[in-house]
Homo-oligomer: A and B are copies of this chain.
Amino acid sequence: MQYPQAITQLIDSYMKLPGIGAKTATRLAFFTIDMDDADVQEFAQSLQAVKTQLTYCSICGNITDIDPCLICTDPHRDQSQILVVEQPKDIMALENMHSYQGLYHVLGGVLSPVKGVGPDELKIKLLVERLKKSKQVQEVIVATNATPEGEATAMYLAKLIKPAGIKVTRLAHGLAVGADIEYADQMTLKRAVEGRQQL
């Protein structure tokens, strides 16, 4: 005996999501059957909406429903700084700190020869053209993650952009606020010592 086709299909769909295996997908599918009609309808509509209503900003590469995005078109933002991130999600985390007022640029990943990601797979060309076009940018802050690939991408961007006379900086690495020295990993401690500041 098989589940009715509608259930099997929903289980298959749930299984396409990351970190969801057959057991969880089955549990979610049966949960869905007992959900409110309106909630399921809204769920289905929002799934379709993210595919139809969203696009990537043609200037910065961020996910947006209006192109160019609200950050790129905001005249109150500091046009002299561009902060480069790997993913649109990173922008959200940075915006939540409510202190950075400059612009952003989303690479869409990091350089990774192993995974076959070269400069052409990322939005690096778009960034270079953007810097050429705008005469206002004075600093590019590279905020790729502190992974080997993230570091390599930061180095690559620095080499590419510095000759144009634009300052290239990197986010500080060190101890997280509230973290115990006792539990910090060696790389983090090393960076914290190297980046020590005068009191």
Interface: A33 (CB within 8 A)? yes
Q: Which of B10, B27, B53 contacts A49 (CB 8 A)?
A: B10
What is the CB-to-nearest-CB distance from A42 to chain B, in angstroms, rounded to a whole number?
Answer: 6
Distance (Å) between the CB of A100 and the closest chain B CB? Answer: 11
Q: How large is the interface on A (under 10, 10 to 19, 20 to 34, 35 or more residues)?
A: 35 or more
Q: Which secondary structure dominates chain A's binding surface?
A: helix
Give the oligomeric copy count. Answer: 2
CA distance A19 to B71 in the complex (A): 34
Cβ of A1 < 8 Å from any Cβ of B?
yes
With A3-B92, A40-B48 known, 19 other A-B pairs at CB within 8 A are A3-B63, A4-B53, A4-B63, A4-B65, A6-B50, A6-B53, A9-B42, A9-B45, A10-B43, A10-B50, A12-B46, A13-B47, A16-B39, A17-B28, A29-B50, A30-B89, A32-B50, A40-B51, A44-B47
